[in-house]
């Protein structure tokens, strides 16, 4: 077990629609930075919404998340899960990536588009279980 292994799962909304090339550049930078920092995880993107898992040493994950929160390319950042974990869920990915369609997401029980939650803190808090289902579903597909 790695000492102080930490995981954050959060959602956000892009401030503009990402073109494919911009998304690939973002992903390439994330993978490079995460490798250097010892962070692993996964990023889901669908029509302007993101759900991301970051895991690794607590200090590194917390510092990276502070940088992410300052990134002007997205807003409405909501943390769904933030906890110490015993092992990595994405140990072989510095940043796994999937860009599912709305049709694929609709097949997951309880799914609601993150954009549709608005700013209701209760709805966002209840979305945690859905976010974890989404991550798990697309992790299994990508493994």
Beta bridge partners of 5: 57
Asked if 92 contacts 34 with a C-beta cutoff of 8 angstroms, the reply is no
Quote the pLDDT of residue 113.
58
Question: For position 81, what pLDDT does the model report?
Answer: 86
The pLDDT of residue 7 is 92
State the pLDDT at residue 143.
46
- Looking at the domain 5-142, which fold is it? Alpha-Beta Plaits (3.30.70)
Length of the chain as a residue count: 143
CA–centroid distance for 74 within its chain:
13
- What parts of the chain have a pLDDT lower than 50? 141-143
Domain residue limits, the chain: 5-142
pLDDT tens per residue across span 90-111: 888 898 888 877 787 777 766 6
* CB of 56 closer than 8 Å to CB of 40: yes
Yes or no: say if 138 and 114 are a contact pair by the CB < 8 Å rule. Answer: no
CA distances from 25 to 3, 31, 32, 81, 142 (A): 31, 10, 11, 26, 20
Alpha-carbon distance of 4 to 85, in angstroms, equals 8
pTM of the entire structure?
A: 0.80
pLDDT of residue 126: 63
């Amino acid at each position: 077990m790695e000492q102080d292994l930490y995981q954050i799962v959060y959602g956000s909304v892009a401030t503009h629609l990402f073109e494919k090339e911009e998304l690939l550049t973002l992903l390439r930078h994330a993978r490079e930075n995460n490798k250097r920092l010892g962070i692993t995880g996964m990023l889901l993107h669908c029509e302007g919404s993101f759900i991301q898992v970051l895991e690794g040493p607590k200090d590194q994950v917390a510092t990276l998340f502070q940088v992410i929160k300052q990134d002007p390319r997205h807003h409405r950042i909501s943390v769904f899960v933030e906890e110490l974990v015993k092992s990595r869920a994405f140990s072989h990915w510095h940043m796994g990536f999937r860009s599912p369609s709305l049709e694929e997401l609709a097949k997951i029980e309880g799914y609601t588009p993150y954009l549709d939650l608005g700013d209701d803190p209760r709805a966002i808090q209840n979305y945690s279980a859905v976010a974890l289902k989404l991550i798990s579903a697309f992790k299994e597909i990508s493994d």
